[in-house]
Amino acid sequence: MNYANSLLKQTLDSLGWLFGIIFLGLFLDSSFFSENYIEHSQWINNILVLCVFMFLYYKGTSRVKEQLIYAFLIGIIGEHIFSLGFGMYTYRLQNIPHYVPFGHAVVFLGVYYFGRKPKVRSNQKAIELFLTIAISAYALFFLLFKNDIFGFVMTVLVFISLRKYPKERLFYLAMFAVVVCVEIVGTSFDCWVWPEIAFDTFEFLPSANPPSGICLFYYGLDRGTMSIYKRRHKETWKRFKSIRAIQTKK
């Protein structure tokens, strides 16, 4: 197999750098790094993620640039609603780090690029099946061993919602996998914490730290970003859907 054109190579090209940024950035914001190396180190990750965002914006097409801005703005609104407003989770310094809204946009774009890779498209069904099994096993493990009822319920809702968007299933399943990585790394480094029950309010919904199905709320950002773009570019989106339909029939 030619590695240059392999599925592994194209996956690393689109998601490898993203996982690297996630790990490095959240480590720089971790309580360990702040206590042992640079106090109040969050500003380093703020600069790092902003630079990545600006690079992707500069290199992106007009569509990519527009979607990055939408994802960034929706990320700001969502963080204020769910973290500060509802107390759904709490950041280490009791704030909303500046890197977070930019990070939401970067994650969105990384998964978007992954879904557009030729080898990913040609192996779409197999990838979807693999991710479905892996996500189900992950949520079930958290339910059985961490009493994560909240996360399991959200995971079920994710799968139910995917029935409405079969052509975008790969994107959302890949997003779920990336968000799992973000949440596990972020909570392990104490960048943020989830309460023991949903929204620190609903006792009948015990939660793990992090809950397994939190990607359900990321979907709001994804759907919002795509919806705004579609509404602003109706004719372009119609042509895109026609091209995708032709490609699907081949």
Query: Average pLDDT by consecutive 10-residue portion of the chain (250 residues)?
Result: 75 93 96 92 95 95 91 93 94 95 94 93 95 97 97 95 87 95 97 96 96 90 79 65 51
165 lies in some domain: yes
Has residue 69 been placed in a domain? yes
Residue 26 lies in a domain: yes
Q: Is 2 helix (H, G, I), strand (E, B) or coil?
A: coil
Triad 52, 17, 221: Cα angle to 5°:
65
pLDDT at 241: 55
Q: Is residue 8 part of a domain?
A: no
Query: Has residue 191 been placed in a domain?
Result: yes
DSSP 8-state symbol, 209: S
pTM: 0.90
How far is Cα 12 from Cα 32, in angstroms, rounded to an integer?
28
Q: Assess if residue 55 is contained within a domain.
A: yes
Residue numbers of the domain that contains 54: 13-249
Under 8 Å CB-to-CB from 16, ≥6 apart: which residues?
none
Judge contact between 40 and 34, C-beta under 8 A: yes
- Distance, in Å, from the CA atom of 248 to the CA atom of 242, rounded to the nearest integer, reads 10
pLDDT of residue 231: 77
How far apart CA 132 and CA 10 sit, in angstroms, is: 20
Kindly state whether residue 99 falls inside one of the protein's structural domains: yes
Q: Are 196 and 207 in contact (CB under 8 A)?
A: yes
Total residue length of the chain: 250
pLDDT of residue 112: 92
In a domain, 108, yes or no: yes
Residue 234's DSSP bridge partners are none
**Domains of the chain: total:** 1
pLDDT of residue 239: 58
